[in-house]
Amino acid sequence: MEDMIFYDRMQFAFTITFHYLFPQLTMGLSLLIVYFKWRYLRTHEESFNHAAKFWMKIFSLNFVMGVVTGIPMEFQFGTNWAKFSELTGGVIGQTLAMEGMFSFFLESSFLGLFLFGEKLLGQKLHFLTGFLVFLGSWASGYLIIATHSWMQHPVGYEILENGKFVLNNFAALFSNPWLIPSFLHNQAASLVTSSFVMAAVGAFYILNKKEAEFGKLFVKTGVYFGLAASLFVAFPSGDMLAKNVVKYQPVTFAAMEGVFETEEGGAEIVLIGQPNILEKKLDNKIAVPGVLSFLTHQRWNATIYGLNEFDEKLYPTNIAGLYYAYHIMVGLGTIFIGLMGLSLFFLIRKKLFSTEWILWSLVFALPFPYIANISGWYTAELGRQPWLVYNLLRTVEGASPTVSSGNTLFTLLGFIGLYFLLGMLFLLLAGRIIKHGPNPQID
C-alpha cells in the first residue's frame, strides 16, 4: 500500500510540475499583452502593437503545451485518485467544471480571434479579444485555486453517511478566507515569471544587437512589472497567506520555519539551516532574533508554537522537503526584488541598456522564477500532507485501490519520456519565435 501511494504521489507531482511550467507564464503574460495593446491604442506607436502580437505567439505556444500536459494530469483524478474523486466530487466538481466550461473556452476562443482577427475586427475589438484572453486565463486560475483552497481549508460542506462530501453553501466556496490571498499570491508570482522572461528576451536582443529597440521596450516593461509583482508577492499577498497558515495550519507553519520547540518571548527567523528530523533541531543555523514573531504577529515578543506542541501523527509527511521548498521560494523572491530594484535604478539613470553585466544577469535569471513558483506550490502541497482535504481526508484514503504500483510506475516512466520530447519541442519552437523576433515586415 505504501508503494502504491508513493508512486501515485510521484506521478501526480511530476505531471503537475511539468504542466505548471506553462500556465505560470501565460497568466502573467496575458496581462502584459493587454498592457501593450492598450499602449498602442493610446499612442498609436506601432512598436506596441507588434510587441503585443509577438508575445501572443509565445502565449499561444505555452497555452497549447498547458492544454496537452493538463489533460493527463486531470485524468489522474479518475485513475490514481478515484476514491478522492468519488468522495469529494460533490464539492470540487463545481469549480473544476466551471474552469473547463467557462474560463478555458473563453480563453481559447478569443485567443484565435486575437491571433487572426485584427484586420477584420479593428483595433478596439482586437484589444477586447486580448482582454478576454486575459480574463479567461485569470478566471481559470481563480477557479483552480478555489478548488485548492477548499482542500487546504474546507468550508461550506457536509459529509453524508456514506462518507461523501457535498456542498451545502455555494457562496462559502468563493468566500473562503484561504482563497483571495492564495489567488493574489499566485497571480503575482505568475506575473514575476512573465516579467523576467520578457526582460530576459529583451536583454538578449540588446546584447546581440538584434531588434534592439524592441529589446529596450521588453526590458523596460519587464523591469517595471517585475519589481511591482515581486514586491506584491512578498507583501501583502505573501504576508496574508502566511498568516492564514499560522491561523489554520499551525503545525505546517512550524515545519515551514523549522521551529521544533515553542519559542516564547520572541522567535528568531532562520536564514540558513538544515533540519535534523531525528534530533528535532536545525543544524548550522543562521538566524535573526525576534523577527519571526514580529512578521507573524507584529509583536517582537509573540510566542511561536513549535512542532513539539502537536501530535506527531499531524506532522507534515516530509518536513525537510517542506522546509527547503519554502526557503527556496522566499530566498529567490528576495533576490528578485534586489535584481529588479537594481535594474530600475540603472534604468532611471539611463545606464541599464549599456551595462552588460546587469543585462546578462537578467538573461541568466530567466529559469529562477519558474523554480520559485514550483517551490511555492511544493510548499503548499507538502504542507497539507498527510491530508488531501485538511484534517478530514487523508491521502492514503483517496487513492484508487485497483491501480497497482507497477502500473503507476510504468505510466510514470512513459510520462517522463514523453514530456522530455515535448519539452525539447517547446524549446525549439520558442527559440524559433524569439530568433525571428517581432519583425513588423513579417507580422
Q: Is the pLDDT of residue 351 over 70?
A: yes
The backbone torsions φ and ψ at residue 114, rounded to the nearest 5 degrees and listed phi first, read -65, -40
What value does the mean pLDDT of the chain take?
A: 95
Contact, 377 vs 15, CB < 8 A? no
- Confidence at residue 265, expressed as pLDDT on a 0 to 100 scale: 84
Contact, 114 vs 56, CB < 8 A? yes
Residue 283 has which C-alpha cell?
543544524
Q: State percent of the chain over pLDDT 90.
A: 91
Q: Is the pLDDT of residue 253 over 50?
A: yes
**In the predicted model, what is the mean pLDDT of residues 105-119?**
91
Please work out, in degrees rounded to the nearest 5, the angle formed at the alpha carbon of residue 421 by the alpha carbons of 420 and 423.
Answer: 65
**In the predicted model, what is the mean pLDDT of residues 140-165?**
96
- Which stretches does DSSP call E strand in 254-386? 269-276, 281-288
CA dihedral of 427, 429, 432, 438, whole degrees rounded to 10 = -110
- Confidence at residue 428, expressed as pLDDT on a 0 to 100 scale: 97
pTM for this predicted structure: 0.96
Q: Is the pLDDT of residue 109 over 90?
A: no
Q: Is the pLDDT of residue 210 over 80?
A: yes
Contact, 206 vs 359, CB < 8 A? yes
- Confidence at residue 367, expressed as pLDDT on a 0 to 100 scale: 98
Q: Is the pLDDT of residue 4 over 60?
A: yes
| 358 Cα distance to chain centroid | 26
d(CA 84, CA 248): 22
Contact, 183 vs 142, CB < 8 A? yes
Confidence of residue 198 (pLDDT cuts 50, 70, 90): very high
Q: Is the pLDDT of residue 252 over 60?
A: yes
The backbone torsions φ and ψ at residue 6, rounded to the nearest 5 degrees and listed phi first, read -60, -50
Q: Which residues contact 208 (CB under 8 A, 6 or more apart)?
A: none
Confidence of residue 102 (pLDDT cuts 50, 70, 90): confident
Least confident interval from 51-60, 69-78, 97-106, 274-283: 97-106
Least confident interval from 94-103, 232-241, 429-438: 94-103
Q: Is the pLDDT of residue 20 over 70?
A: yes
Which sequence spans correspond to the domains of the chain? 1-29+42-79+412-443, 81-176
**In the predicted model, what is the mean pLDDT of residues 164-172?**
95
- Confidence at residue 443, expressed as pLDDT on a 0 to 100 scale: 45
Side chain identity at 408, as an amino acid letter? Answer: T
- Confidence at residue 1, expressed as pLDDT on a 0 to 100 scale: 59
Confidence of residue 32 (pLDDT cuts 50, 70, 90): very high
Confidence of residue 106 (pLDDT cuts 50, 70, 90): confident
- Confidence at residue 306, expressed as pLDDT on a 0 to 100 scale: 96
Residue 15 has which C-alpha cell?
505531471
Q: Is the pLDDT of residue 442 over 60?
A: no
